[in-house]
Structure 1
Amino acid sequence: MPYPEGFLKNRSEYVPGKYAVITTEGRVFNVIPGIEGCALSIVASPKLGANFVQMVGTVSTEGKTTMPYGKAEDVEAFLFVMSGQGSLKVTVGGKSETLSAGGYIYAPPGKGVSFASTGDAPVEILLYKQRFIPHPDPAVQVPWTVTGSIRDMDESLYDSMENVFVRDLLPVDQAFDMNFHTLAFLPGGCHPFVETHVQEHGMYIYQGEGLYLLDEKWLPVQSGDFIWIAPFCKQACYGIGRERMEYIYSKDCHRDEPI
């Protein structure tokens, strides 16, 4: 790494119990057992306050898992290929798919996800895991493997606004205790109101720029930033800049709260 130009700087901000913005300037690469040939940074974990683990980074042309990631009886996993000219062979429960930029796969609890570069070019990925909360009704089906690509999906208007768009990546079904969505804002687009809700979010901006309200503070955010939002933290976003702003985010859902 070369000497810095000017003073050291970092836009990251962390308010325990409320939110975190983790920018690219301060990230380090983490050694992850069972993953080789990858430069990955853990951006969220229970140490942050999150109820999940999320990492982002690059899979080289020789990158691969040597054991399924997130394979535990009560753990579910998710992989999203954010960008790059290459592709990955991904395997869940013995079934394999080839994913390129925009592709994703969900691994149900106990399955884990394996991947290996096809060797054509590096790709940038998001890798995620969390503990699965079973549905209280045993008659409800357990979740199943889901795979697809946002490039093959139609977007829907978000709350009937013509400059904000959403995609549901997983089925809206009570079998699932979480979902991933993409949300996109054309310049000037925004949330219809300031949200305060029980769900927590982990979001990764992969295109554009915005202004994000987190608790009582408006913060500039841009492509490459990760944002963690705790339950009930006030949040809202404006898309700014010259291009559309787009991010992928996780959300817990379809479960009651313990007492």
Structure 2
Amino acid sequence: MQQSPFGETRTRVEFNHALIAPDGHVVSPLVCWDNAQAVVLISPTMGHGAAAPRFVQYMVDGSSSCETHHAEVNVERLVYVLEGAATLDGDSLAADSFAWFPPNDRYRLEVPESTRVLVFEKVYEPLSGNKVPQRMTGSLAASPKAPFLGDPEAMLATLLPVEPGFDMAVNVFEYTPGTTLPFVETHVMEHGLYMRSGQGVYRLGDRWYPVQQGDSIWMASYCPQWFVAMGKENASYIYYKDIHRPLLHQPAT
């Protein structure tokens, strides 16, 4: 990657949002992973107090001996294969496949060379009267897909079931060039986002940012947000949000 000789970057980290561009990626080791080339894109250390992210988003480039057997205690994990093919307990996970792991699950996930995965993790919040879901695998191609608010130029695929047992949602949005979110969204959910393809402009707070494939975005709760796809190819991103839990976070009984 060509670097600027003047210390320039598109990366911005603000109190309620962040844009992390690939030009600033730094590889670091990870707890619960062996021989992973990982870049932590979003974590609670990014913010302060109530504005800090409540989840983690990171990317792993595989190696000949890269594998993981579990997340940290009480942490759920979703792994999405961006390119290449991973192996889960001997079964292949091809590009655009995913696996969701409930907290304290045990398995063998191998990420070989030429494979890149995106990972979302958060502390699972039990909900009274609902069981913790079992492990789930799937693919983008087989996931439910529908026009967003009736617009066939903005297609939304839902990877995880929209059920109270799940306290996270991970979706894939795809826009044709020139298509926009229909309004500036401002809501209680927070987001972690990764640009899978294409380019566009994302409004975050009161700023507008050019974004492209490989960029990551954090949006805090109530951060105003809007997107327009630009260029000659479809723009697509995968994103996380928190759902289905009491706003006051009262413990389950």
Aligned to 1:237: 227
Mapped to 2, the partners of 1:112 and 1:8 lie a distance apart of: 43
Distance 2:157 2:106 in 1: 24
1:151–1:22 CA distance, 2 compared to 1 (3 A): same
Q: Superposition RMSD on alpha carbons, in Å?
A: 1.9
1:27 alignment counterpart: 25
1:110-259 superposed matches below 5 A: 110-111=104-105, 114-117=108-111, 121-135=113-127, 137-138=128-129, 140-153=130-143, 155-258=145-248
Aligned to 1:50: 53
After superposition, give the CA deviation of every residue in 1:199-253 in whole Å (9 maximum; x if it has no partner): 0000000100011010011110110000000000000100111110101000111
The CA distance in 1 between the partners of 2:199 and 2:8, in whole Å, is 19
Q: Which amino acid aligns with 2:10?
A: R
Closer/same/farther in 2, CA of residues 9 and 164 from structure 1, 3 Å limit: same
Which structure 1 residue ranges, 4+ long, deviate > 3 Å from structure 2?
A: 2-6
Match of 1:99 in 2: 93
Whether contact under 8 Å (1:77, 1:113) holds in the other structure is: no
Q: Which residue of 2 aligns with 1:78?
A: 78
Per-residue deviation at 1:126?
Answer: 0.5
- Residues paired across the two proteins, number: 244
Q: Percent identity of the aligned residues?
A: 30
Matched letter for residue 8 of structure 1: G
Partner amino acid for 2:236?
Answer: E
TM (normalized to structure 1)?
Answer: 0.88
Instruction: Give me the TM-score of the superposition, normalised by structure 2.
Output: 0.90
Which ranges of structure 2 fall in alignment gaps of 5 or more residues?
47-51
Local SS of the residue matching 1:47 = helix
Q: CA deviation at 1:71?
A: 4.0
Matches of 2:247 and 2:32 in 1, distance apart? 33
Q: Which amino acid aligns with 2:122?
A: Q
Q: CA deviation at 1:174?
A: 0.8
